[in-house]
Amino acid sequence: MTIHPTILSVPAPEGLQPRCAEARTRVVSNTPVNGEYHLLTLDAPAEVLACQPGQFFQLLCPEPEGEHPYLRRPMSIYGYDAEAGQLQFLYKVTGAGTRGLATLKSGDGLNVLGPLGQGFTMPAERKNLLLLARGVGLATLAPLARMAQQQGRRLTAICSARRPELAMSVDLFLSYGAEVIVVHDGDGSATPEALRSVIEAQIAQGRVDAFYTCGSARLLRLLQELGAKHNIPGEVAMEQQMACGLGMCQACVRSFREGDQVVHRRVCREGPVFPISEAIA
């Protein structure tokens, strides 16, 4: 196994306050979760820990056996704790980059760039939040749930998965005081039709001032439809293949509605969080 050489960060010139930094972190632990996912915990310097829920990092993944990923891999933040000096990512092994991440052991170094992008917003009037995501998409919503609890907002988290035991972060959302509803493919409760009834019931009980979601085009379309019908705002964290993560290369554009126009926005810079009403699934 080859690890990319250490890259030292350049000190910020005096007077310049960098929004993000390239930093060397150290692996505290990297453990399997639920059979499908891994939880990576890093010791990270303060310069990269002023994060907002919904932001992401670009990880310089080590090279797994026989593979040579060149570009960094974007990864949404699962947890950050400036006091403890720790940063967490929850990932599923899907390609060369995440295969490389899975080789990391306690004590190994990892070069990270971040925090990047625009995070979720929570205007004061949004007192009752509905979080909906499937699979590893729930990881992106975890820091938002934590912040919502700290601010005394009421949370409902709908966790979707193939099987109930694969539903991610249920205990974490419970610990943040959320009412958790698990839906899965086995009993048909995760279909858009079934979810529509569940969410409509939540709306009828006055439990939804805003939607927050991540990842799934099907779920995004459902929330766009329900948001338009009930006049409920919402935000979605989106994904796209990236190169630089800073906005320079313009690789990660997606289309968005802006009035009666369709415009391109960079997921890394203008996003990854966008208004649900403007996103195009």
Partner 1 sequence: MKDLQNTPPCDMGVQIGGLRLANPIMPASGTFSEDLSDVFDLDILGAHVLKTIMRDARAGNPTPRVCDLQGGMLNAIGIPSKGIGYFRDTMLPYWAGYSAPLIVSISAHTMDEFAQLCEEVTLPGVAAIEANISCPNIEADGRAFAMRPDTTEQVMTRLRAATDLPLWAKLTPNTGEPVEVALAAEAAGADALVVANTALGMSIDVRTRQPRLGNIMGGMSGPAIKPIALRMTYQIARACSVPVIGCGGIATRDDALEFMIAGARAVQVGTATFQSPTVMARLVAELSDWAAAEGLTSIEQIIGTVTAPTGGHS
Judged by CB under 8 A, the residue of 31, 32, 50, 70 near partner 1 is 70
For the chain, counts of helices (H) and of strands (E): 5, 15
- Taking alpha carbons only, the member of 170, 169, 188 closest to residue 180 is 170
In the block, which residue shows the tokens 């974007």?
Answer: 74
Cis peptide before 13 (omega within 30 of 0): no
If binding is defined by CB under 8 A, does position 102 make contact with partner 1? no
In the block, which residue shows the tokens 């899975």?
Answer: 102
Least spacing, CB of residue 121 vs partner 1, in Å: 20
- Among residues 22 and 209, whose Cβ is nearest to partner 1? 22
Which residues, at least 6 apart from 22, have a Cβ–Cβ distance to it below 8 Å?
A: 7, 9, 10, 111, 112, 113
If binding is defined by CB under 8 A, does position 6 make contact with partner 1? no
119 is in an annotated binding site: no
Relative to beta strand 253-258, strand 261-266 is antiparallel
| Binding residues for partner 1 restricted to 7-26, rule: CB under 8 A | 7-10, 12-13, 16, 18-22
- Taking alpha carbons only, the member of 199, 198, 190, 272 closest to residue 232 is 199
Residue 112, Cβ density class (10 Å: 0-12 exposed, 13-18 middle, ≥19 buried): buried
If binding is defined by CB under 8 A, does position 186 make contact with partner 1? no
- Among residues 25 and 160, whose Cβ is nearest to partner 1? 25
Which residues, at least 6 apart from 14, have a Cβ–Cβ distance to it below 8 Å?
A: none
- Among residues 11 and 192, whose Cβ is nearest to partner 1? 11
- Taking alpha carbons only, the member of 264, 266, 262 closest to residue 242 is 266
Number of residues this chain uses to bind partner 1 (CB under 8 A):
37
Stretch that binds partner 1, among 63-71, 80-88, 187-195, 213-221 (CB under 8 A): 63-71
Least spacing, CB of residue 67 vs partner 1, in Å: 8
| Binding residues for partner 1 restricted to 242-261, rule: CB under 8 A | 242-244, 246-254
Least spacing, CB of residue 11 vs partner 1, in Å: 9
Residues 234 and 82: their CA atoms lie apart, in Å, by 28
Judged by CB under 8 A, the residue of 44, 75, 113, 183 near partner 1 is 113
20 is in an annotated binding site: no
Judged by CB under 8 A, the residue of 53, 54, 64, 69 near partner 1 is 69
Residues 24 and 88: their CA atoms lie apart, in Å, by 14
Annotated binding-site positions for [2Fe-2S] cluster: 244, 249, 252, 268
Annotated binding-site positions: 73-76, 97-98, 244, 249, 252, 268
What are the residues binding partner 1 (CB under 8 A)? 7-10, 12-13, 16, 18-22, 60, 68-72, 96, 111, 113, 240-244, 246-254, 264, 269
